Structure 1
Amino acid sequence: MSMPKTQKDFIVFCVAQQGRLEHEAVIFVRSFRACNPDFKGRLIVAEPTGARWSQPTAISAETRALLEAEGAEIISFENRHFGESYPYGNKIEALLALPPEPFLFFDTDTVFTGPLSDLAIDFDYPTASMRREGTWPEPPLYGPGYHDIWKCLYDRFEIPFEPTLDLGQPEEYWERFLYFNAGWFLGADAQEFGTRFLRYALSIRDNTPDELACQSLDPWLDQIALPLVIASLGGGRPGPELAGLDSLTSCHYRTLPLLYARESDAAIAMVEEVCTPNKVKKILKAYEPIKKLVLQGKGKKIRALFDQNDLPRREKVIRNAIKREGLWLR
């Protein structure tokens, strides 16, 4: 295994556009800078454009100025294949707007709580987040099962299947198969990774294998194609040296109600800290969840609903409890 790249060698990026994502990008960028003051690479916010959106996508002038003042570069990319019909495809097409350099992608609903320099990142071993549930596939009663569904995809793209299996897991159990959350992923060459990601995703969408006939591709398409890309490039499951990307270094909170319900005190404190300055409040108060949960302090009511040492195992239970209080804001 080659030596990990140094900080100055790579790109950190997320995707943002007008509305919710641009406000989340403020938290993303400000928390990143707070935790990584010596970062020498490029911090990029990729902005989708093009006719595949019926509403404006351009980040507002005020938010753009704030992000750039924090040292973020905003680059535009055109949605040629996805767009409004499948916004999760942004992360795929955004890669093609980057140079062929090492990269670390994060979903915009991420807050940083520690420095990336604490992690031993090897960009020559592509990998992604393991903070996931068995959301896909959902094998029908009479088959095909997990094995046949996943194997048909590896066979289509001529990727060795057996090396990707976790043989410590039972047959026909979802964790036996390579499956990631696409909340963060990394690789050595954004262009190569993005080209392959796009090819696999379009092939699955436009020429869906018979084994997937009963499966939903929306919103799971990116997470179906991602392990295929990673395996084809010689990567796999992350080792313990990257565990911080799912806990101590970065937190993919997904929605602010879930942040307050189940994430660490450090993650909540960082969100509240980076939203505090008046120049930031002025922009973020336009987004109702931040205004009410963070700036007005109603997130504390959500926190009080749950025992952090005994959280419900199912996210649906958490969401329903928050909804009953009228605080499910997103």
Structure 2
Amino acid sequence: MAHQPFNIMIVGQSGRLQYEAVLFAASLRRFAPDFSGRLFVATPQPGTNWDKDPSLRNQSVLQALSDLDAEILPFESRAFGQSYPYGNKIEALLAMPEGERFVFFDTDTLITGPIDQVPFEFHRPSASLRREGTWPKPTLYGPDMAGIWRALYDRFGLDFETSQDTTQPENYWKRYLYFNAGFFFGACPRAFGQRFLEYAVSIRDDLPPALIGQSLDPWLDQISLPLVIHSFGGARDVLPEGQLDGDISCHYRSFPLLYARESDAVVAALEEVTAPNKIKKVLKQYEPMKRMIYQGRGAKVRALFDRDNLPRREQALRNKIKSAGFWMR
């Protein structure tokens, strides 16, 4: 299944994401020089669903992306926008080339190895398993976790039983299909995106009774994604372990978290990619990158933690970094 041509999509817009997009593109070109697909930076266009113009207008960012052979992909925010920016990843899929295999990455990701060598099975979509049991949170009076998930599968006429990992106990979150939406892939972005949009909007606008009391923000994309993947015949363990979210990509989420918990190899990759002057001049416009990467704050964060004995929960990492006065986002 390896070496099939595919495209990559990330989202870029004014603010933090534009600088992360430059970093993503630079890391792709450095560590996957043989990647032959197209890199799209999907960019929301101004409209009634945005308070301010979200499009890319920073000329140095646009030039850097062009130099890195990234293609700007404008798209319209018809269902989401300012009220739920995570919906960008859903609506942007509808602007991608129809019928061409795709991998979506959250923009706060580094490519650290030859992504073109990953044996994607595009007819069996999947997504990131680097996640915690963040949703749902069953209430005292029910329904339980199984009841909540079953209601969603029933809503869309999907087989709930075959989605479960029966090696895990009932009402333990890992039993149920649940992903981090930091990356996902499939055979056709428009078919995938249309179903993703349909499911997300249905859940948002016509909440199943079993979900009353459950938070949809920011979880709506991660609630909908397993249903979409299951509907296309996808599964959990489609990819070999240790490649994406491992040796070949790193979803760092924020620079303090990257320096706190990621491997020495990831930090070295970050510092190599950000060293060239052409990249440095762009990234230093963004204060967290300037302070963390170029002025040494990242090294101070790194010194706070033992990578062999990290807290189990991400919130504990965040709290310690904030207590030291080093948190930036």
User: TM-score if structure 2 supplies the norm length?
Assistant: 0.97
Q: Does 1:201 align with 2:173?
A: no
Counterparts of residues 210-289 of structure 1 (less than 5 Å)? 210-241=209-240, 243-289=242-288
Q: Does 1:138 align with 2:134?
A: no
Are the equivalent residues in 1 in contact too, given 2:46–2:55 (CA < 8 A)? no
Measured after TM superposition, the shift of residue 242 of structure 1 is: 5.1
Are the equivalent residues in 1 in contact too, given 2:43–2:55 (CA < 8 A)? yes
Q: Does 1:10 align with 2:6?
A: yes
Distance 1:323 1:233 in 2: 42
Structure 2 counterpart SS, 1:46: strand
Measured after TM superposition, the shift of residue 265 of structure 1 is: 1.2
Structure 2 counterpart SS, 1:58: coil
Are the equivalent residues in 2 in contact too, given 1:103–1:187 (CA < 8 A)? yes
Match of 1:110 in 2: 109
The CA deviation string for residues 48-75 of structure 1, in whole angstroms up to 9 with x for no partner, is 1131111222221110110111111111
**2:20 counterpart (24, 44, 56):** 24
Match of 2:51 in 1: 54
Structure 1 counterpart SS, 2:192: helix
Are the equivalent residues in 1 in contact too, given 2:120–2:239 (CA < 8 A)? no
Distance 1:55 1:266 in 2: 38
Match of 2:147 in 1: 148
Distance 1:145 1:318 in 2: 29
Match of 2:312 in 1: 313
The CA deviation string for residues 145-188 of structure 1, in whole angstroms up to 9 with x for no partner, is 11110001101100111011000000011100000000000000
Distance 1:271 1:58 in 2: 26
Of residues 46-55 and 180-189 in structure 1, the stretch that sits farther from structure 2 once superposed is 46-55
The CA deviation string for residues 240-283 of structure 1, in whole angstroms up to 9 with x for no partner, is 52531111100000000000000111111121112112222221
Change in 2 beyond 3 A, CA 1:37/1:45: same
Aligned-residue CA RMSD (Å): 1.1
Distance 2:225 2:196 in 1: 7
Aligned length: 326
**2:78 counterpart (77, 80, 85):** 80
**1:43 counterpart (27, 39, 43):** 39
Distance 1:21 1:73 in 2: 15
Of residues 279-288 and 27-36 in structure 1, the stretch that sits farther from structure 2 once superposed is 279-288
Distance 2:50 2:273 in 1: 30
Are the equivalent residues in 2 in contact too, given 1:27–1:111 (CA < 8 A)? yes
Measured after TM superposition, the shift of residue 227 of structure 1 is: 0.3
Flag as ranges the 4+ runs of structure 1 deviating above 2 A. 4-7
Are the equivalent residues in 2 in contact too, given 1:121–1:242 (CA < 8 A)? no
Letter in 1 for 2:82: E
Measured after TM superposition, the shift of residue 286 of structure 1 is: 1.4
Match of 1:98 in 2: 96
Distance 1:224 1:58 in 2: 27
Distance 2:287 2:323 in 1: 18
Structure 2 counterpart SS, 1:246: helix
Are the equivalent residues in 1 in contact too, given 2:34–2:116 (CA < 8 A)? no
Structure 2 counterpart SS, 1:251: strand
Distance 1:165 1:114 in 2: 32
Are the equivalent residues in 2 in contact too, given 1:112–1:267 (CA < 8 A)? no
Measured after TM superposition, the shift of residue 206 of structure 1 is: 0.2
Are the equivalent residues in 1 in contact too, given 2:46–2:52 (CA < 8 A)? no
Distance 1:98 1:146 in 2: 35
User: Identity over the aligned pairs, expressed in percent?
Assistant: 56
Are the equivalent residues in 2 in contact too, given 1:245–1:251 (CA < 8 A)? yes
User: TM-score if structure 1 supplies the norm length?
Assistant: 0.97
